[in-house]
Amino acid sequence: MTDPTATRMYDAVEYGLWQDLADALNRIEEYGLDPIAQLCEQLNAKPVQAIDAGDVIHGSGVRKPGGYLLRHRSSRFGWTVQDRAKAPEVTS
């Protein structure tokens, strides 16, 4: 059985990292830039509405079950952190 304190700390750190990324992307969009859309265009891919690291996070090996992802709402809300377990399937 895992230590509940360690599990809560891991969850808090992961959420904080995703929130920092969401905040950075939202600040960039406030200046009229959309780096995710520009990257998709360069890669000839359709625009994404979700960013998910999947099962592997570089440098840390296999991630623990659960975790978070970023979901793009409307321009009013921008990027928000969402629990992977409660999120609809990411298709792109």
Element (H, E) at 79: strand 79-83
Contacts of 27 (CB under 8 A, 6+ apart): none
How many angstroms separate the CA atoms of 26 and 77, rounded? 9
List pLDDT tens digits, range 1-51. 478 898 888 888 889 999 999 999 999 988 888 888 888 889 998 888 888
In a 3-state reduction of DSSP, which class is residue 57?
strand
pLDDT, residue 68, reads 87
List pLDDT tens digits, range 41-92. 899 988 888 888 766 655 566 666 678 889 988 766 789 999 887 777 655 4
Q: What is the pTM of this model?
A: 0.75
